[in-house]
Amino acid sequence: MQNRRIVVTAALPYANGDIHLGHLVEYLQTDFWVRFQKMRGNECLYICADDTHGTPIMIRARRDGITPEELIEASYARHTKDFAEFQIEFDNFYTTNSPENRDFCNTIFKRLEKNGALYCKDIPQLYCPDDKMFLPDRFVRGTCPKCNAPDQYGDSCEKCGATYAPIEMKDAHCAVCGKAKPEVRNSEHIFFDLDQFRNYLKDWLSKHVATDVANKLLEWFSDDSKLLPWDISRDAPYFGFEIPDHPGKFFYVWLDAPVGYMASLLNWCLKNGEKFDRWWNNPDAELYHFIGKDIVRFHCLFWPAMLHASDFKGPDQVFVHGFLTVNGEKMSKSRGTFINARTYLDFLDPAFLRYYYACKINNTTDDVDLSLDDFSQRVNSDLVGKITNLASRGAQMLHKSLDGILGEMDEAGKKLVSMFLSRADIIAEHYEARRFSQVPVEVCKLADAANEYFDGAQPWKTIKTDVEATRKVLTTILNLFRLITIYMKPILPHYATKVEKLFMEEPYTWESLKTVLENRPVAPYEYLAVRVLPEQVAGMVDASKPAVPEVLISAEPTVEPLKAEIEIGAFAVSDMRVALVENAAPVEGSDKLIQLTLSLGPLGTRNVFSGIRASYPDPTVLNGKLVVLLANLKPRKMRFGISEGMVLSAGSDTSKLCVISPAGNAKPGDPIG
């Protein structure tokens, strides 16, 4: 059979924010699928990019006093680092702010124009005279025209659910400057006439998306109503691409974002000496988009219509997944369940989230729940207890008593191996159909069988009586473990790499299932996974709670309001001490943390991890300083070690914190109160 040629995309993360565990539901399942395809020998590319344009980025950059280019560059660095540490392997991760993307947008626009898919129309828009810009609905606030609820967004009311145009609002004001009253100005906008493509789309939906998604979208195709046109232009000032022959008009960010898939692919082609048309417009190549259900409208209506109208090939399938909930609820900053990828990495092994998500993700649009208790439990009992333990007990005994050399398998072992191999096609089908949750189910059944075999054979007893029979048992166990690793490799790639090292083999592919390891040495066993401890999860949740309440975009700097009044006793329970910074150093693998060695004088030294890296990019400036340590804080285990206390600092902006330093006669160990 000829190898397939497949292009896979995940939705582009917006450059105005960090990657969080919700994003990872998508990037990880896409990674599972792509890695599986590659293991099968298919040519498969994982294409993505940062989505960099639009008003929110322009305003954020303006507020931070930097250019949008600087903002998106910083995001790019953070995003790619987070993805890499979660073992997400893009073939190309690019940016929508690229020459390739500009060219594709222009080409598509000109073709749409030529094919009569576009028209211009004057529409009234709110304009802020202070900021000298047109305001997107989300940047207008005012009183709801229906229910009079104050301080609502410009497009809909959160109180009564009414939807309206921003110009209908009472006392509308600009949310960028926070005060100016917007004026109504007419502006010419360019529209994509979606309704022209209703028959094409009806047909397209029946073939290229799951039926539940198609049915939902088809609700808009009733005979007596038209599909609404799509406004694809925005007025200057706007961070994006200016539309050819329309000075002062820019492509709406949602037009150039999906085009970014093509641009990122082209960029990969240019770097690798490949032709774009071999991958995208080739009927023999497959194109798949992985997206969340929130952006179905863009990917299953506008995008296929736009590609069709500009003579490009559309996606073969759009795979739609649900949202992430944490402990059964929407992610919440105040509950500490809005967890950034980086915060997770500060406390836990990325392989564990990969494993857990695999257990929960399938090919439906249902939401995925990250239950934190369930997470620890499953990782500890399945991944560590059942699976990893096989290698741990097998390889260590082989080294302790049998010189680390594999022998041959016994009859029972051979039978087990062929039973394991008989599951290969079923597991492959689960991957192919994106029923990832079924893979750990299958694999755990195999691990159970292997553990039963091990216990039944009692090698810890036979080692005293029949050394070679024991070698057979351990050879079997390690071969079974190896097969499990191959099955799990798309989900646990770095784990698999460690196992490849253990057995001194080339990187595993699906073909590696056919090999049997006999009569050869095994490298010394190194830990493959360490149990999750409750304090790591608790620490991650704590660290995700905001130090300050979320402040909406606003020109006015704010400080936290005072907390409720307390009795002196509530303060007296905390024991704060003067501490001397003996050594301050950055923590390898963490953006947020620095590691401090503190002297408390007669009370000894402490190791403390402090999340103030953003404020102290060069932690060594703290060396020799006196600081204040909350010294009776319960030690907390983090991914990098145990933190024994908390250093106090002032400020609410995490990038502008200032460590509190006692002056005068204070010496290490002195109490503070």
Partner RNA sequence: GGCGGGAUAGCUCAGUCGGUAGAGCAAUGGAAUCAUAAUCCAUUGGUCGGGGGUUCGAGUCCCUCUCCCGCCA
* Residues in contact with RNA by the rule CB under 7 A: 156, 161, 163, 212, 216, 219-220, 225, 227-228, 293-294, 297, 323, 328-330, 359-360, 366-367, 369, 371, 373-374, 377-378, 380-382, 384-386, 388-389, 392-393, 396-397, 400, 444, 448, 451-452, 454-456, 458-461, 527-531
Q: Which is nearer to RNA, 219 or 506 (CB)?
A: 219
- With CA atoms as reference, report the closest residue to 662 among 621, 626, 623, 624: 626
DSSP 196: G
Q: Which is nearer to RNA, 106 or 156 (CB)?
A: 156
Closest approach of RNA to the CB of residue 522, in Å: 14
Residues, the chain: 673
**Residue 621: partners with Cβ closer than 8 Å, 6 or more residues away:** 584
Q: Which is nearer to RNA, 227 or 646 (CB)?
A: 227
**Residue 188: partners with Cβ closer than 8 Å, 6 or more residues away:** 120, 121, 122, 123, 249
d(CA 453, CA 410): 12
Closest approach of RNA to the CB of residue 191, in Å: 12
- With CA atoms as reference, report the closest residue to 258 among 44, 48, 573: 48
d(CA 376, CA 142): 45
**Residue 647: partners with Cβ closer than 8 Å, 6 or more residues away:** 579, 596, 598, 608, 610, 612, 627, 628, 629, 630, 659
For residue 161, with 0-12 CB atoms within 10 Å meaning exposed, 13-18 middle and 19 or more buried, which class applies? exposed
Closest approach of RNA to the CB of residue 515, in Å: 24
Q: Which is nearer to RNA, 9 or 438 (CB)?
A: 438
Q: Which is nearer to RNA, 186 or 458 (CB)?
A: 458
d(CA 282, CA 317): 15
Q: Which is nearer to RNA, 141 or 393 (CB)?
A: 393
d(CA 214, CA 204): 9
| CA-based R_g, the chain, Å | 29
Closest approach of RNA to the CB of residue 220, in Å: 4
Kindly state the helix (H) or strand (E) to which residue 93 belongs, with its residue range.
strand 92-95
Q: Which is nearer to RNA, 384 or 488 (CB)?
A: 384
Closest approach of RNA to the CB of residue 384, in Å: 5
Return the bridge partners of 189, or none.
121
Q: Which is nearer to RNA, 385 or 586 (CB)?
A: 385
Closest approach of RNA to the CB of residue 473, in Å: 10
DSSP 291-339: EEGGGHHIIIIIHHHHHHHTT-PPPSEEEEE--EEETTEE--TTTT---
Q: Which is nearer to RNA, 452 or 542 (CB)?
A: 452
Q: Which is nearer to RNA, 329 or 466 (CB)?
A: 329
Closest approach of RNA to the CB of residue 292, in Å: 10
Closest approach of RNA to the CB of residue 174, in Å: 21
**What does each C-alpha distance from 32 to 22, 427, 430, 487 come to in angstroms?**
16, 13, 11, 11
Closest approach of RNA to the CB of residue 212, in Å: 6
DSSP 623: T
